[in-house]
Amino acid sequence: MRLTRCLLAAALASAGFAAQAGQPALTRTTSASGLPRAPEQEAVAFERADLAFKVDPARKSLDGDATLTFLASKPIDRLVVDLDSNYRIGLVEVDGKPIAAAHWRNPEGRMTVDLPKPLAAGARAVLRIRYAGHPHVANKAPWDGGFVWATAPTGEPWVATAVQGEGCDLLWPCIDHPQGEPREVIQHVSVPAPLVAAGNGIAEGMDEKDGWRTYHWRAKQPNTYAIALNIGPYELLQGEYTSRYGNTIPLRFWYLKGNKAKAEGLFAEFAPMLDFFEEMIGPYPFADEKMGVVETPHLGMEHQTINAYGNDYKKADAGYDWLLQHEFAHEWFGNQLTHRDWDDFWLHEGFGSYMQPLYLQWLRGDMEYMAALMKQRAALVNKYPVISGRGLPESEVYKPGEGPGNDTYYKGSLTLHTLRGLIGDAAFFRAIRELVYGTATPRPGNFKPRYASTADFIAIVNRITGKDYGWFFDGYLRHAALPELLATRDANGLSLRWKTQDDKPFPLPVQVRVGDRVVDVPMTGGRGHVDLPAGASYTLDPHSKVLRELPHIAEFQKDTAERAKAAMEKARAEAAKK
């Protein structure tokens, strides 16, 4: 998720382990999520992460004890994990035997542990790391990653983590790459009583001793950055949803004490959203765990089965809470389906962003669907391609002067709108289902979380339609500039031509209104012609099916930017006079 970034940008230990107080600087490896995996990381399957966290809000400290189980697919003599090097490490073990300090190192957040003996293909190793210190603080989560140490309105500690950008290694020893998901994660979260720790997956009880509560959670194959701590004076709303697929889904909402009336209003939105996604996309992927939401001091993040919500229960003209819906969309696009590389980030955010207009169409019809798409269209920048064609860390997607940023969301969404009009609803929604589930007929129990790339989606679309749409995805995702539809009136009517950044053929059909009728133009080879009587008016793409360059949008954006700059300069000048 970082629609939270984009919408706002367009309209967050024991004494033996004590670390230095203050805000430590992030090392390169720690601060970059999604760097290429080490060969040793590629050579293992991450079977289980058993994580114990002791969180002390008074000291703003974390004691961690991680037991990680790996299955080797080829022989290796080292284990490699990522862990913020600002933590102090108190113990390293392999298969229950201590590893001397000379045989492990963690200079830049990529920790290497020499094995006592080589691990053969098909063999397992259990790595245990005890670590502690003052975790990196997120000053503007979820825009930057780390811990959020806040205070609830009623005075109790209120703690959360959001680590998508900088990665899971700010919290636990992991493989900080999209393809580093553990098959199972168990969490034991200890917090001062009477605080509550809401977690990923299934609740497995709570123990209380000596003024501390330990909450136990178990989740299947969560995204690496989806593992989250959520601690506060929470109260709980509970319910059940009877799925159209015949199963029952637990509904859970942890809200701050004192917000019950508002929380009940938001909780009422859970069931309609579930019904929408199950009808349009397919079964809720984590029905055997829960649909969970927790109120957080930061805006939001798609933490699998415990989505962060911090939108302050704001009412919107759309009639639903956009943040809740967008983060919930990521249970399908991000958690069930995970991109293979951050260069394919639009598979999370473009699809997730399209779900908001689509939800409006499902709820209330075409006018609100088109109005929501128009807001997205006005926000496009079109300076950098959505897909670069090379492996990227997460930070480069948002890097000024290099990455697509907001276009990953909105251009991705509008590309899907155009594709839907091109291939029709039946093929479009079947392609999405196959992308998300690996089957066109998903049912609870017949699918598992999966990885995919843009190339995988293109292959699915081509197979379902029996046509090659590589040109379509190249035109929209692999080039910065939008295709431009040129129209020239001639003696016989209207000549049309698609102009693309590389001048390759772009045979996207269009419609033209001529008088009181709409004409379909095939645009074979990227060109077409419409008979046009003398004096007749016309409208290109009268039903707004096609994403294309629009000069009036560019003029609007330029004017808006100039006015904002002038207002800022005026404010600075007035401030200087005081």
5: tokens are: 């970034």
| Helix, strand, coil abundance in the chain, percent, nearest 5 | 30, 30, 40
Question: Cα(106)–Cα(115) distance, rounded to whole angstroms?
Answer: 15
411 φ, ψ to 5°? -70, -35
**Amino acid letter for position 260:** K
Confirm whether residue 330 is marked as ligand binding: yes
Residue in 128, 149, 143, 173 with CA at minimum distance from that of residue 61: 149
Note if the bond before 107 is cis, omega within 30 degrees: no
- Going by the DSSP 8-state scheme, the letter that residue 58 receives in this structure is T
Residue ranges of alpha helices (H) inside 285-321 are: none
500: tokens are: 């693309």
SS3 417: helix
Confirm whether residue 188 is marked as ligand binding: no
Q: Which residues on adjacent β-strands are paired with residue 248? A: 242
> Residue 365 burial by CB count (10 A; 0-12/13-18/19+): exposed, middle or buried?
exposed
Tokens 């107080």: give the residue: 21
Strands 104-105 and 110-119, sheet pairing: antiparallel
What is the Cα 418 distance to its own chain's centre? 22
Question: Cα(465)–Cα(487) distance, rounded to whole angstroms?
Answer: 29
- Going by the DSSP 8-state scheme, the letter that residue 103 receives in this structure is G
Q: How far is CA 335 from CA 180, 250, 268, 503, in A?
A: 13, 18, 23, 37
Confirm whether residue 47 is marked as ligand binding: no
| DSSP string computed for 175-241 | --STT---SEEEEEEEEETT-EEE-SSEEEEEEEETTEEEEEEEEES--GGG---EEESEEEEEEEE
Task: Report the Cα–Cα distance between both ends of the chain, in Å, rounded.
Answer: 41
Q: Which residues on adjacent β-strands are paired with residue 35? A: none
Question: Cα(573)–Cα(265) distance, rounded to whole angstroms?
Answer: 45
What is the Cα 183 distance to its own chain's centre? 19
Strands of 248-256's sheet in order across: 234-242, 248-256, 291-295, 307-309, 300-301
**Amino acid letter for position 548:** R
Strands 110-119 and 184-192, sheet pairing: unpaired
Question: Cα(476)–Cα(385) distance, rounded to whole angstroms?
Answer: 8
Q: Which residues on adjacent β-strands are paired with residue 68? A: 49, 127
Residue numbers in the known binding site are 326, 330, 349
Residue numbers in the known binding site for Zn(2+) are 326, 330, 349
